[in-house]
Amino acid sequence: MNTQVFELENLDARLREAVHTSGRGPVLLTENGRPRYIIRDLDDDDVVDELLAQNPAFLESIRMARQQVTEGKALSLAEMRVKYAVQENE
Provide block-wise average pLDDT over 10 residues at a time, the chain (90 residues).
78 87 87 90 79 89 94 90 79
Q: How far apart are the first and last CA of the chain?
A: 39
Q: What ranges do the domains of the chain cover?
A: 1-42, 55-90
Any idea what DSSP says for residue 81? H
pLDDT given at position 44: 66
pLDDT given at position 5: 79
pLDDT given at position 1: 60
pLDDT given at position 90: 56
Q: Which long-range contacts (CB under 8 A, 24 or more apart) does 67-70 make?
A: none
Q: Residue 34: beta bridge partners?
A: 31
- In single-letter form, the type of residue at position 61 comes to S
